[in-house]
């Protein structure tokens, strides 16, 4: 099989990334979070297992560290943590996608080829000088490196929409394979009420797709337009992941702006009916959006997201950076007590070295511990009250710290609030620097797992009950870690380097 019909646009992108990707030094990138080969990255796309490797594609503009006409970047990995770049897979080079190859998904066809489905974008000029983007779903087939766009593209367009569905907001197809060999797919769409809906399509062969029904409707409950859906069974429940634009805040669960939510419920396969039972935020930190999941060969449901948020992209606005955007850690999903749990993929444990641990450390005021430092670490903390003493009022851990900078996690057991704060991380922009969420704890006992990788922090609370993610562009020399308690707290710490 040969797939060598690359266009001039794709050849140029490949030449460019090959030449300029090399100029970015390893230490200028995250070490085990995927960043773009060059230029800009947003959403993960086509997350799949193909040819004995994990493949991930991403929304990509190689020529600059800001968003531009979307290509698909491409990388492969054996362990979901060490990624090797492959040449860009898709470029906006056809009449139906000339203004961008937006997000989509991938799977393997019975004949061994890889099938990609993405959103083709074409800008339509309006008489008043503005423009509309027509969005359609398109297909490309390939061998894991080179892809040929299907001659019958687009495979879904405005004519496949239900009454009132907008052809301008119709994007991000996520496909799956059914047990009988047929295919399903869910696509984000804007409905007549101005908010989002998820449309279900089916196909016998992965090429000819048919509209089935509205699988879920936002009805202006959670933000407006719904992007980047995913739909799968997990531990006896059905999960719909969706990334919502223009959210209004709701308690400590949802925040203003873009956010990712999980709708959990039941699915009647016969009637193709999803019944919502509960909803929750997917990430309680600052930077997380547009996640996509894969079912690994050993049966784990693993999710990876864009560790960024459209509203906070300005953090790194010097415009002289060689790259922008990174993926989150891949996270194993499960349902426990009716909630979505996330844990870093177990492969991360193979990267651990230099274990240092302390037990029953009494923290009252500030303290630091020998050997507990670093910007590429996996650190487990258990904090609890001192027996016979009154409940501490606040416990905090500071990291990425030196004389000038630090970021922190602070916990107030009296209010059950955990806060991530990067105000003093070196940011010079007026963006969101703090996020608070409600956490569960037993009388002041809280478990945290903190993972740092050069330019980010991800915090897994209570064995994955909640996660908070944020990017940090603090100078790498700031690698101190310290602990502070208002009152008296007891703490166990285990720290590993991740190198
Ligand atoms: C989500 C998103 C998608 C779209 C892509 C464009 O972050 O807006 O809906 O396909 O980014 O890059």
Residue holding tokens 């897979």? Answer: 89
Question: Is cis: bond before 369, omega within 30 of 0?
Answer: no
**Which is the closest atom of ligand 1 to the Cα of 258?**
7
**Which is the closest atom of ligand 1 to the Cα of 188?**
9
- pLDDT given for residue 315 in this prediction: 80
pLDDT in tens, the chain (499 residues): 455 568 999 999 999 999 999 999 999 999 999 999 999 999 999 999 999 999 999 999 999 999 999 999 999 999 999 999 999 999 999 999 999 999 999 999 999 999 999 999 999 999 999 999 999 999 999 999 999 999 999 999 999 999 999 999 999 999 999 999 999 999 999 999 999 999 999 999 999 999 999 999 999 999 999 999 999 999 999 999 999 999 999 999 999 999 999 999 999 999 999 999 999 999 999 999 999 999 999 999 999 999 999 998 888 766 578 999 999 999 999 999 999 999 999 999 999 999 999 999 999 999 999 999 999 999 999 999 999 999 999 999 999 999 999 999 999 999 999 999 999 999 999 999 999 999 999 999 999 999 999 999 999 999 999 999 999 999 999 999 999 999 999 999 999 999 8
Ligand 1 mutation pick, 41, 57, 59, 70, max ligand atoms within 8 A of CB: 59
**Which is the closest atom of ligand 1 to the Cα of 227?**
9
Residue nearest to atom 9 of ligand 1 (CA): 227
- pLDDT given for residue 1 in this prediction: 46
Query: Is residue 171 in contact with ligand 1, taking CB distance under 6 Å?
Result: yes
Query: Is residue 245 in contact with ligand 1, taking CB distance under 6 Å?
Result: no
Q: Which residues contact 482 (CB under 8 A, 6 or more apart)?
A: 366, 367, 368, 397, 398, 401, 406
Q: Give the distance (Å) from ligand 1 centre to CA of residue 43.
A: 7
Q: What is the pTM of this model?
A: 0.97
- pLDDT given for residue 169 in this prediction: 98
Q: Give the distance (Å) from ligand 1 centre to CA of residue 341.
A: 25
Give whole-number Cα distances, 447 to 205, 352, 367, 374, 480, in Å. Answer: 47, 19, 19, 20, 21
Cβ–Cβ < 8 Å for 394, 366: no
Query: Is residue 59 in contact with ligand 1, taking CB distance under 6 Å?
Result: yes
- pLDDT given for residue 3 in this prediction: 55
Annotated catalytic residues are 43
Handedness of CA 25, 28, 34, 39 (dihedral sign): negative
Distance CA 226, CA 229 (A): 7
Query: Is residue 102 in contact with ligand 1, taking CB distance under 6 Å?
Result: yes
Q: Give the distance (Å) from ligand 1 centre to CA of residue 287.
A: 15
Distance CA 123, CA 98 (A): 8
Query: Is residue 407 in contact with ligand 1, taking CB distance under 6 Å?
Result: no
CA 248 to chain centre: 20
Q: Give the distance (Å) from ligand 1 centre to CA of residue 67.
A: 10
Query: Is residue 293 in contact with ligand 1, taking CB distance under 6 Å?
Result: no
């Amino acid at each position: 099989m040969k797939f060598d019909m690359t266009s001039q646009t794709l050849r140029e992108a490949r030449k460019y990334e090959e030449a300029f990707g090399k100029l970015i030094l390893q230490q200028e990138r995250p070490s085990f979070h995927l960043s773009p080969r060059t230029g800009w990255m947003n959403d993960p796309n086509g997350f799949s297992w193909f040819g004995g490797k994990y493949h991930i594609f991403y929304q990509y503009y190689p020529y600059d560290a800001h968003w531009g006409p979307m290509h698909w970047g491409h990388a492969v990995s054996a362990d979901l943590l060490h990624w090797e770049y492959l040449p860009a897979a898709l470029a906006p080079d056809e009449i139906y996608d000339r203004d961008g190859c937006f997000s989509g998904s991938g799977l393997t066809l019975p004949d061994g080829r890889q099938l990609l489905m993405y959103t083709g974008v074409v800008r339509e000029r309006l008489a008043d000088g503005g423009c509309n983007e027509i969005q359609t779903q398109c297909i490309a087939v390939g061998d894991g490196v080179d892809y040929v766009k299907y001659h019958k593209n687009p495979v879904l367009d405005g004519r496949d929409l239900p009454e009132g569905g907008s052809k301008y907001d119709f994007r991000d197809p996520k496909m799956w394979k059914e047990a009988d060999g047929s295919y399903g797919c869910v696509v984000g769409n804007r409905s007549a009420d101005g908010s989002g809906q998820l449309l279900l399509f089916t196909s016998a062969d992965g090429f000819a797709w048919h509209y089935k029904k509205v699988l879920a409707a936002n009805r202006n409950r959670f933000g407006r337009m719904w992007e980047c859906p995913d739909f799968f069974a997990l531990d006896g429940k059905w999960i719909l992941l969706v990334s919502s634009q223009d959210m209004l805040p709701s308690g400590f669960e949802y925040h203003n702006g873009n956010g990712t939510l999980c709708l959990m419920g039941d699915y009647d396969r016969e009637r193709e009916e999803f019944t919502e039972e509960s909803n929750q935020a997917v990430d309680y930190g600052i930077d997380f959006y547009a996640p996509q999941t894969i079912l690994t060969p050993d049966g784990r449901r693993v999710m990876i997201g864009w560790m960024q948020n459209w509203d906070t992209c300005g953090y790194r606005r010097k415009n002289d950076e060689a790259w922008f955007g990174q993926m989150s850690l891949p996270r194993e999903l499960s349902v426990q007590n009716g909630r979505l749990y996330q844990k870093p993929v177990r492969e991360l444990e193979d990267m651990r070295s230099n274990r240092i641990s302390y037990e029953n450390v009494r923290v009252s005021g500030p303290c630091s511990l020998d050997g507990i430092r670093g910007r590429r670490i996996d650190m487990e903390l258990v904090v609890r009250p001192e027996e016979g003493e009154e409940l501490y009022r606040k416990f905090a851990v500071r990291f990425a710290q030196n004389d000038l900078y630090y970021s922190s996690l602070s916990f107030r057991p009296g209010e059950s609030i955990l806060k991530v704060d990067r105000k003093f991380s070196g940011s010079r922009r007026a963006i969101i620097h703090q996020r608070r969420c409600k956490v569960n704890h037993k009388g002041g006992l809280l478990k945290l797992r903190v993972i740092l990788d050069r330019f980010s922090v991800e915090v897994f609370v209570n064995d994955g009950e909640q996660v908070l993610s944020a990017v940090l562009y603090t100078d790498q020399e700031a690698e101190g870690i310290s602990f502070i308690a208002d009152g008296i707290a007891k703490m166990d710490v285990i720290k590993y380097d991740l190198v």
